[in-house]
């Protein structure tokens, strides 16, 4: 027997908010992503100039040299609004929580060969400071950027980076039975170790960049595009090959996060470069500057991580990055 | 303020199943607490301080309860917050 | 090695402190260029303690759970045509004012807290601000999603963000948000977290959400209650930051007192719109503005300032006037909306007989004496067909941007309150001593205000006639005017099988 469900139908007077009808027509209702992300930011009739930046309005397109006819040309391919974002992360978080508890309960890090433990301490733990820097930089992109699609992506990204900094911190604590020896040593390396100074210098220079889109290129396109494949993929695999597979259980979040995140950085790179010759040139200049600066900065850490092969590992990662960005229209 | 009276600490939570053991725990652990059921929400208030104890909630729920789960039903509060693994406390100094 | 157990406090500290560092390739003052110019002295940022110790993993977990519950209800509300279960379609005026007036403020708060989340020097304070920044984004988005269904069935909800930048009465909340955003980070957090969230937010959300529940609006009740759990964290942040600043240095006290005086009054004036919403737009009203003011400001706010008295902090300046105004506020604001009801994006209407009786009961000293005759007169005029909307544009207060409608409630409630001051040869007008004080403390700031009425006169708003301006606002012809002449009313009658449009109005 079939059941027929009939609902009382009431004809709507419109299918969507006006801004979305203008953008996408009124053939079908817009997605929740479109409702949440488009045109939320004020664009006109600002009342007061910021006391902290009298040269700009509160929201101002001139905080970057990039020029867009429509700052809403970019759309997040993941279609994240707050709900879909937190639900996606909570699923990843649940897996991570399970893995951390499992490793902790069975003292699995205890079983690791000493040289693997040392590699984790030397290479992976200091990366928490880089994640913290990435958190600050994405907050900066959010608060200086333009358009609620780009800014909300930056906000989600900022929180992701805080989350990853906290996961790395937990690995450090697990290594030491909740003592901070490893964390303290990693901080000392980050502050003083010669192999890390190029990177720290570069990150600190990013903190004072005036153009938020240059910061986007430096942090989210280039630094992440080099670091994540190099350390959270290639170096992880090296550790696993040498008996450090347990570590991969604790860092699963990072490569997963990165492969998801390149979707929107690709989309943003593509739409921005396609806008104009001037944008394309600007992006190339920034790309050039930060690829060479950051490759140089990462090299000593790469060598520490991989030995003499570090240089070629880094070169391969760089080629992959340039090839990927090349497909989006960004060239050196 | 012309008359001096004891300041009220309050906690307002949603009126749903998740909040039940919390409301009951508050009732048990806070002598003199005033509990009012309003549309969709429950207001618990008491002079000077009000406490939610993990242990009491766990006994009433019959399972583990993390104090931070309070966030899932919380609507409003008044008082200085002191939260740790064992309790969530509101008080006026 | 047996791991020592970490308690919540210690764990949180390890996961949020020591990750940042003292920069050396760039000067700290260049990395954090905005947190000193206001004169607030912070000697030790590590003294900052976050009362809710949420790490990101816990944040994702709890917030995702809240979101799943919320969207399940929003979906079912739409599937079941939940809008037909409201007490009355006139209730929608409150939702229209909410999405055009309040939702843009949520995004403004997001933006401001992202700014603080990057630019406060202390790690702990930054993390707390970032969490609030992403929460505020949540609130803007969940409000858009919840109200989306109403937008499909009612007028006046179609372009909230565009209108927020332009419409005359929406410059009241917009200019408040931008006042805070354009200030330094410490003033911003004092304004939004303390004056607005801690001292006054209960006046917006608790009665409003209870109001939604009273009027069969399950969707709004749900998003409101869901947002309130974040709001409780935000309020607590507001209290903590005030205590932190006061404890850091004694020189901070006069600066903070000045900001509290200013932003209390600024936020209170924004809430004047809420008072009208509460007493007049809600069909069934769980509590009057005056009752809410007494509980949430006089009682709870009094307790708060008594507690903060140990730091030398006093009740905000002009708070007695705000309390005296509580018996008049909603009536005066609703009157001006009714008088200009052809230029609003929501419907206006005179209160029903039952509503008038309720108002008499709740406002025994003022309603029958000053305001009932006015509404009865307009009602009669509408019956006779002689009613006309105000033909002229009102003068706006230079600071709060509300028309000059407030009166001398302490001496002569029929006498308009009117203040003015000269600055660089120009004359500026204010609705109250509170707004005048604010202007005189920072005239360079407030002369910049984008006053909608001035802008209309200067020809910046689509034209010189009301229809041209309304078109520029993207107000559609059916958005404003009297509720009983509206498309919303006709559709409501159809849904409920009443062919004969009867003036049922609101009842309590």
% of chain C surpassing 70 pLDDT: 97
CA distance C386 to chain A (A): 31
Residue in the block written with tokens 């929608």: C92
Question: Of C65, C240, A94, C196, which is closest to residue B73 (Cα–Cα)?
Answer: C65
Q: Which residues of B touch C233 (CB under 8 A)?
A: 71
* ipTM reported for the complex, 2 dp: 0.96
Q: Tell me the pLDDT tens digit for each residue of A41-69.
A: 999 999 999 999 999 999 999 999 999 99
Say yes or no: C107 contacts chain A, CB-CB below 8 A. yes
Which among B7, B39, B85 has CB closest to C303? B7
CA distance B70 to chain C (A): 9
Whether C188 contacts C115, CB under 8 Å: yes
Residue C415 has pLDDT above 70, yes or no: yes
Question: Of B10, B82, B26, B23, which is closest to residue C202 (Cα–Cα)?
Answer: B10
Is the Cβ pair A96, C57 closer than 8 Å? yes
Whether C400 contacts C269, CB under 8 Å: yes
Whether A103 contacts A174, CB under 8 Å: yes
| Residues linked to residue C419 through DSSP beta bridges, in sequence order | C430
CB neighbourhood size of C172 (10 A): 23
Say yes or no: C2 contacts chain A, CB-CB below 8 A. yes
Q: In degrees rounded to 5, what are phi and psi of residue C375?
A: -70, -35
Distance CA C201, CA B8 (A): 18
Q: Which residues of C touch B14 (CB under 8 A)?
A: 225
Q: Burial level of A98, CB count in 10 A (0-12/13-18/19+)? A: exposed
Q: Which chains would you list as touching C if contact means 3+ CB atom pairs under 8 Å?
A: A, B
Q: What is the pLDDT of residue B6?
A: 67
Among positive and negative, which fits the CA dihedral C55, C58, C60, C62? negative
Is the Cβ pair C310, B12 closer than 8 Å? no
Instruction: Quickly state the pLDDT bin for C505 (edges 50, 70, 90).
Output: very low
Q: Residue C276 falls within a domain, yes or no? A: yes
Is the Cβ pair C225, B75 closer than 8 Å? yes
Q: Mutating which of C5, C7, C8 best tests the B interface, going by the most B Cβ atoms within 10 A?
A: C8
Whether A259 contacts A92, CB under 8 Å: no
Whether A270 contacts A57, CB under 8 Å: no
Q: What are the tokens at C432?
A: 């109250």
Q: Residue B2 falls within a domain, yes or no? A: no
A251 contact partners, CB below 8 Å, separation of at least 6: A124, A167, A171, A232, A236
Least CA distance to A208: which residue of chain C? C31
Say yes or no: C131 contacts chain B, CB-CB below 8 A. no
Q: Are strands B49-53 and B41-47 parallel, antiparallel or unpaired?
A: unpaired
**Is A touching B (3+ C-beta pairs, cut-off 8 A)?**
no
Q: What is the pLDDT of residue A6?
A: 61
**A223 vs C212, which has greater pLDDT?**
A223
CA distance C65 to chain A (A): 8
Distance CA A248, CA A244 (A): 8
Q: Which helix (H) or strand (E) holds C422?
A: strand C419-423
How many structural domains are present in chain B?
Answer: 1
Which among A13, A43, A86 has CB closest to C152? A13
Distance CA A111, CA A246 (A): 9
Q: Which chains would you list as touching B if contact means 3+ CB atom pairs under 8 Å?
A: C
Cα three-residue angle A276-A280-A281, rounded to 5 degrees: 115
Q: In degrees rounded to 5, what are phi and psi of residue A121?
A: -60, -40
Instruction: Look up residue C482 and give its DSSP letter.
Output: B
Which among B38, B72, B93 has CB closest to C66? B72
Q: Which residues of B touch C51 (CB under 8 A)?
A: 80-83
For chain B, the residues whose C-beta falls within 8 A of a C-beta of chain C are: 1, 7-8, 12, 14, 38-41, 67-69, 71-78, 80-85, 92-93
Containing domain of residue C104, as a range? 55-328
Q: Which residues of A touch C137 (CB under 8 A)?
A: 82, 152, 155
Whether C43 contacts A69, CB under 8 Å: no
Q: Tell me the pLDDT tens digit for each residue of B42-83.
A: 999 999 999 999 999 999 999 999 999 999 999 888 888 999
Distance CA C110, CA A142 (A): 9
Whether A33 contacts A79, CB under 8 Å: yes
Least CA distance to A106: which residue of chain C? C2
CA distance B80 to chain C (A): 8
Q: Which residues of C touch A50 (CB under 8 A)?
A: 181-182
Q: What is the pLDDT of residue A23?
A: 96
Q: How far apart are the first and last CA of chain A?
A: 67
Whether C274 contacts C296, CB under 8 Å: no
Residue C193 has pLDDT above 50, yes or no: yes
Q: Residue B65 falls within a domain, yes or no? A: yes
Residues 392-451 of C with CB under 8 A from A: 445-446, 448-450
Residue in the block written with tokens 């759970």: C65
Q: Mutating which of C70, C101, C111 best tests the A interface, going by the most A Cβ atoms within 10 A?
A: C111
Instruction: Quickly state the pLDDT bin for C500 (edges 50, 70, 90).
Output: low
Residue A30 has pLDDT above 90, yes or no: yes
**Is C touching A (3+ C-beta pairs, cut-off 8 A)?**
yes
Instruction: Quickly state the pLDDT bin for C504 (edges 50, 70, 90).
Output: very low
Q: Which fold has domain A82-327?
A: Ribonucleotide Reductase, subunit A (1.10.620)
Q: Burial level of C115, CB count in 10 A (0-12/13-18/19+)? A: buried
Is the Cβ pair C229, B82 closer than 8 Å? no
Question: Of C155, C153, C156, which is closest to residue A11 (Cα–Cα)?
Answer: C153
Q: What are the tokens at B60?
A: 């009433």
Q: Which helix (H) or strand (E) holds C332?
A: helix C329-339
Distance CA A299, CA A319 (A): 14
Distance CA A283, CA C401 (A): 43
Q: Residue C500 falls within a domain, yes or no? A: no
Instruction: Look up residue C350 and give its DSSP letter.
Output: P
Containing domain of residue B34, as a range? 8-91
Q: Tell me the pLDDT tens digit for each residue of A140-159.
A: 999 999 999 999 999 999 99
3 state SS for chain A: CCCCCCCCCCCCCCCCCHHHHHHHCCCCCCCHHHHHHCCCCCCCCCCCCCCCCCCCCCCCHHHCCCCCCCCCCCCCCCCCCHHHHHHHHHHHHHHHHHHHHHHHHCCCCCCCCHHHHHHHHHHHCCHHHHHHHHHHHHHHHHHHCCCHHHHHHHHHHHHHHHHHHHHHHHHHHHHCCCCCHHHHHHHHHHHHCHHHHHHHHHHHHHHCCCCHHHHHHHHHHHHHHHHHHHHHHHHHHHHHHCCCHHHHHHHCHHHHHHHHHHHHHHHHHHHHHHHCHHHHHHHHHHHHHHHHHHHHHHHHHHHHHHHHHHHHHHHHHHHHHHHHHHHCCCCC
% of chain A surpassing 70 pLDDT: 98
Mean pLDDT of C3-16: 84
Question: Of C236, C226, C227, C166, which is closest to residue C199 (Cα–Cα)?
Answer: C236
Q: What are the tokens at C292?
A: 């809410």
Q: In degrees rounded to 5, what are phi and psi of residue A126?
A: -60, -20
Q: Residue C18 falls within a domain, yes or no? A: no
How many structural domains are present in chain C?
Answer: 1
Which among A12, A13, A140 has CB closest to C118? A140
Q: Please report, to the nearest 10 degrees, the dihedral formed by the alpha carbons of residues B25, B30, B32, B37 taken in order.
A: -40
Q: Residue C40 falls within a domain, yes or no? A: no
Q: Tell me the pLDDT tens digit for each residue of C379-393.
A: 999 999 999 999 888
Distance CA C26, CA C10 (A): 31
Q: Tell me the pLDDT tens digit for each residue of C218-274.
A: 899 888 888 888 988 998 899 999 999 999 999 999 999 999 999 999 999 999 999
Question: Of C503, C505, C492, C500, which is closest to residue C153 (Cα–Cα)?
Answer: C492
Residue C410 has pLDDT above 80, yes or no: yes
| Residues linked to residue B91 through DSSP beta bridges, in sequence order | B49, B80
DSSP string for C359-393: HHHH-TTTIIIIIHHHHHHHHHHHHHT------SP
Domain ranges of chain A: 82-327
CATH code for position B21: 3.90.56.10
Mean pLDDT of A68-89: 98
Q: Mutating which of B9, B17, B70, B78 best tests the C interface, going by the most C Cβ atoms within 10 A?
A: B78
Cα of A4 vs its chain's centroid, Å:
48
Q: What is the pLDDT of residue C281?
A: 95
Q: In degrees rounded to 5, what are phi and psi of residue C276?
A: -65, -40
Q: Are strands C407-408 and B49-53 parallel, antiparallel or unpaired?
A: unpaired
In whole numbers, what is the pLDDT of chain C averaged over residues? 93
CB neighbourhood size of B76 (10 A): 23
Q: Tell me the pLDDT tens digit for each residue of B17-51.
A: 999 999 999 999 999 999 999 877 899 999 999 99
Lowest mean pLDDT across A20-24, A147-151, C85-89, C283-287: C283-287
Q: Residue C20 falls within a domain, yes or no? A: no
CA distance B7 to chain C (A): 5
Whether B71 contacts C229, CB under 8 Å: yes
Q: Which residues of C touch A58 (CB under 8 A)?
A: 111, 178, 181-182
Q: CA–CA distance from A153 to each of A82, A216, A225 (Å)?
A: 10, 11, 17
Is the Cβ pair C303, B74 closer than 8 Å? no
Q: CA–CA distance from C316 to each of C246, C297, C320 (Å)?
A: 16, 11, 9
Say yes or no: C61 contacts chain A, CB-CB below 8 A. yes
Whether A225 contacts A144, CB under 8 Å: no
Instruction: Quickly state the pLDDT bin for C507 (edges 50, 70, 90).
Output: very low
Is the Cβ pair B40, C225 closer than 8 Å? yes
Instruction: Quickly state the pLDDT bin for B1 (edges 50, 70, 90).
Output: very low
Q: How many residues does chain C have?
A: 508
Distance CA C158, CA C147 (A): 10
Q: In degrees rounded to 5, what are phi and psi of residue A303?
A: -70, -40
CA distance A86 to chain C (A): 5
At C412 the three-state DSSP class reads strand
Q: Which helix (H) or strand (E) holds B42?
A: strand B41-47
CA distance C301 to chain B (A): 10
Least CA distance to B74: which residue of chain C? C229
At C69 the three-state DSSP class reads helix
């Amino acid at each position: 027997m079939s059941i027929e469900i009939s609902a009382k139908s009431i004809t709507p007077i419109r299918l969507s908010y006006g801004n979305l009808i203008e953008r996408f027509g009124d053939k079908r209702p817009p997605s929740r992503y479109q409702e949440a992300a488009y045109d939320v930011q004020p664009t006109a009739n600002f009342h007061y100039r910021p006391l902290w930046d009298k040269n700009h309005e509160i929201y101002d397109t001139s905080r970057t040299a990039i020029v867009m006819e429509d700052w809403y040309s970019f759309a997040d391919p993941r279609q994240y609004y707050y709900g879909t974002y937190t639900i996606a992360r909570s699923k990843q978080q649940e897996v991570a929580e399970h893995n951390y508890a499992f490793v902790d309960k069975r003292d699995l890090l205890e079983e690791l060969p000493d040289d693997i433990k040392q590699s984790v301490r030397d290479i992976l733990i200091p990366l928490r400071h880089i994640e913290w820097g990435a958190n600050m930089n994405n907050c900066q992109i959010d608060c200086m950027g333009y358009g609620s699609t780009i800014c909300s992506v930056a906000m989600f990204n900022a929180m992701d980076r805080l989350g990853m900094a906290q996961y790395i911190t937990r690995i450090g604590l697990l290594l030491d039975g909740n003592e901070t020896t490893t964390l303290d040593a990693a901080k000392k390396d980050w502050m003083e170790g010669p192999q890390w100074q190029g990177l720290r210098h570069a990150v600190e220079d990013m903190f004072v960049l005036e153009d938020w889109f240059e910061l986007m290129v430096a942090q989210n396109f280039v630094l992440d595009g080099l670091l994540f494949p190099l350390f959270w993929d290639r170096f992880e695999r090296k550790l696993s090959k040498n008996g450090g597979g347990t570590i991969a259980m604790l860092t699963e979040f990072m490569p997963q996060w990165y492969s998801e995140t390149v979707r929107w950085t690709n989309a943003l790179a593509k739409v921005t470069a396609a806008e104009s010759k001037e944008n394309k040139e600007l992006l190339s200049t920034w790309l050039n500057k930060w690829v060479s600066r950051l490759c140089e900065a990462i090299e000593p850490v790469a060598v520490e991580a991989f030995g003499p092969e570090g240089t070629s590992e880094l070169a391969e990662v760089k080629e992959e990055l340039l090839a990927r960005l090349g497909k989006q229209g960004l060239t050196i | 303020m012309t008359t001096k009276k004891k300041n009220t600490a309050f906690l307002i939570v949603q009126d749903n199943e998740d909040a039940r053991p919390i409301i009951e725990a508050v009732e048990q652990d806070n002598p003199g607490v005033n509990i009012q059921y309003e549309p969709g929400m429950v207001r618990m208030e008491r002079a000077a301080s009000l406490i939610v104890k993990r242990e009491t909630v766990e006994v009433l729920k019959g399972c583990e309860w993390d104090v931070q789960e309070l966030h899932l039903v919380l609507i409003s509060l008044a008082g200085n917050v002191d939260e740790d693994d064992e309790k969530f406390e509101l008080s006026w100094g | 090695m047996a791991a020592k157990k970490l308690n919540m406090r210690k764990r949180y500290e390890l996961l949020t402190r020591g990750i940042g560092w003292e920069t050396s390739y760039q000067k700290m003052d260049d990395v954090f260029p905005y947190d000193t110019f206001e004169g607030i002295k912070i000697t030790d940022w590590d003294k900052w303690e976050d009362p809710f110790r949420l790490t990101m993993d816990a944040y994702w977990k709890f917030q995702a759970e809240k979101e799943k519950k919320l969207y399940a209800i929003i979906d079912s509300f739409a599937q079941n045509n939940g809008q037909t279960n409201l007490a009355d379609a006139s209730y929608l005026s409150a939702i229209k004012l909410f999405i055009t007036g309040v939702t843009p403020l949520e995004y403004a708060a997001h933006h401001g807290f992202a700014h603080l989340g990057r630019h406060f020097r202390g790690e702990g304070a930054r993390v707390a601000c970032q969490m609030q920044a992403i929460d505020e984004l949540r609130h803007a988005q969940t409000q858009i999603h919840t109200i989306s269904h109403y937008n499909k069935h009612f007028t006046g909800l179609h372009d909230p963000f565009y209108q927020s930048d332009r419409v005359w009465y929406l410059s009241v909340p917009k200019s408040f948000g931008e006042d805070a955003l354009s200030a330094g980070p410490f003033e911003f957090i004092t304004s939004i977290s303390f004056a607005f969230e801690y001292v006054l937010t209960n006046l917006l959300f608790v009665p409003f959400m209870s109001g939604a529940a009273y009027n069969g609006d399950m969707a709004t009740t749900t998003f409101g209650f869901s947002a309130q759990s974040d709001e409780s964290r935000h309020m607590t942040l507001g209290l903590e930051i005030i205590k932190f600043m006061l404890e850091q240095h004694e020189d901070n006290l006069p600066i903070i007192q000045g900001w509290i005086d200013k932003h209390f009054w600024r936020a209170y004036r924004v809430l004047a719109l809420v008072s009208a919403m509460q007493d007049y737009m809600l069909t069934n009203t769980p509590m009057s503005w005056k009752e809410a003011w007494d509980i949430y400001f006089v009682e709870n706010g009094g307790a708060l300032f008594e507690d903060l008295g140990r730091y030398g902090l006093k009740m905000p300046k002009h708070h007695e006037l705000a309390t005296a105004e509580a018996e008049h506020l909603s009536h005066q604001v609703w009157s001006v909306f009714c008088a200009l009801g052809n230029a609003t994006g929501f419907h206006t209407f005179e209160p029903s007989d039952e509503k008038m009786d309720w108002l008499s009961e709740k406002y025994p000293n003022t309603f029958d004496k000053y305001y009932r005759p006015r509404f009865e007169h307009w009602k009669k005029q509408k019956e006779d067909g002689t009613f006309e909307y105000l033909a002229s544009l009102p003068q706006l207060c230079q600071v709060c941007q509300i028309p000059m409608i407030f009166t001398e409630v302490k001496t002569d409630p029929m006498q308009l309150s009117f203040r003015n001051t000269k600055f660089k040869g120009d004359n500026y007008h204010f609705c109250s001593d509170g707004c005048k004080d604010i202007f005189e403390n920072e005239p360079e700031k407030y002369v910049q205000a984008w006053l909608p009425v001035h802008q209309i006169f200067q020809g910046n708003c689509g034209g010189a006639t009301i229809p041209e301006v309304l078109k520029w606002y993207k107000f559609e012809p059916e958005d404003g005017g009297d509720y009983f002449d509206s498309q919303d009313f006709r559709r409501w009658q159809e849904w409920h099988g009443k062919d004969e449009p009867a003036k049922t109005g609101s009842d309590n």
